[in-house]
Amino acid sequence: MRIGLGLPHFGPLADPGGIGRFAAAAEELGYASLWTGDRVLTPVAPSDLYPGGGTPERPYPPEFTRFFDPLVALTVAATATTSIRLGTSTLTATLYPPVLLGRTLTSLDVLSGGRLDVGLGIGWLRDEYTAAGVPWAGRGKRLEEILDVLTALWTADPVQHDGPRWRIPPSTMDLRPVRRPHPPVLLGGFSHAALERVGRRADGWLPGRMPPETLGKLWDIARSAAERAGRDPDSLRRVLRLNPRRGTALSQLADQFAEAEAAGVEEAFADLHYVADSIDHALDLAAGLRALIA
């Protein structure tokens, strides 16, 4: 199983000088990947509670109030590294115009030498949709069309799209991703529709930590959908996010990685900046975790 880390681009550790330093050190330690999440804003009185354990008293993790743009942070990481893969888990794709999103993703893939994993989802906070001027209703269909646009931008010549939300006239676009036909596309989500979409359209799934039996049942939905679509279910992969809480021992985190591996997960990563006090502390934890897993 490949092991990755969350890039410290949000919370108290989100320091401009720390992102590149952390990325370079993670690569030197032998980690396989670096990942960013996506937050647009953190309302004082949010419309929805964080699905990872939000309560009325603590609706979302306090780290969410400071957030660098995920693709800008990955660009910094790309320039500081040479081989480690770079991914989003998860970019709220439905908040972005797809032609501009496609240009940025392709630019990052080319700049990094083809190291990008494109992780997309629909988010969970209605306030972000309101602030971005995007309808909350129909976000699943919106993501489907975004996938259509991205596929056209990456593979068609000339590029053209005519859909219910966006129209791209026949256009020449010579900026193409390094990896053909396109970078791996991974999708988040936990609903039946989301897992069906993974099987039909994606290269893999971006789950969070959950009981192995739940993980397996949801994964079966994606695999079955892939088979019905005439795709090889064994070609799909999972990249599991681990969000350790403060006080979690490295041995406990190593056990969570072992649990994921036993469940057949192909890759997992941990957001150490939830438990670290500084970039240096996070790197110490990363070195210790790597030693334990090795």
Domains and CATH numbers, the chain: 2-293 (3.20.20.30)
The pLDDT of residue 263 is 95
What gap in Å lies between CA 269 and CA 6, rounded to an integer? 7
88 pLDDT more than 90: yes
The residue ranking higher by pLDDT, 127 or 16, is 127
149 pLDDT more than 90: yes
Question: For residue range 197-239, what is the model confidence (pLDDT) as tens digits?
Answer: 999 999 999 999 999 999 999 999 999 999 999 999 999 999 9
Q: What mean pLDDT do residues 62-70 have?
A: 94
Of 195, 116, 121, whose CA–CA distance to 154 is shortest? 116
Instruction: Give the pLDDT band (50/70/90) at residue 125.
Output: very high
The pLDDT of residue 294 is 83
Q: What mean pLDDT do residues 174-183 have?
A: 95
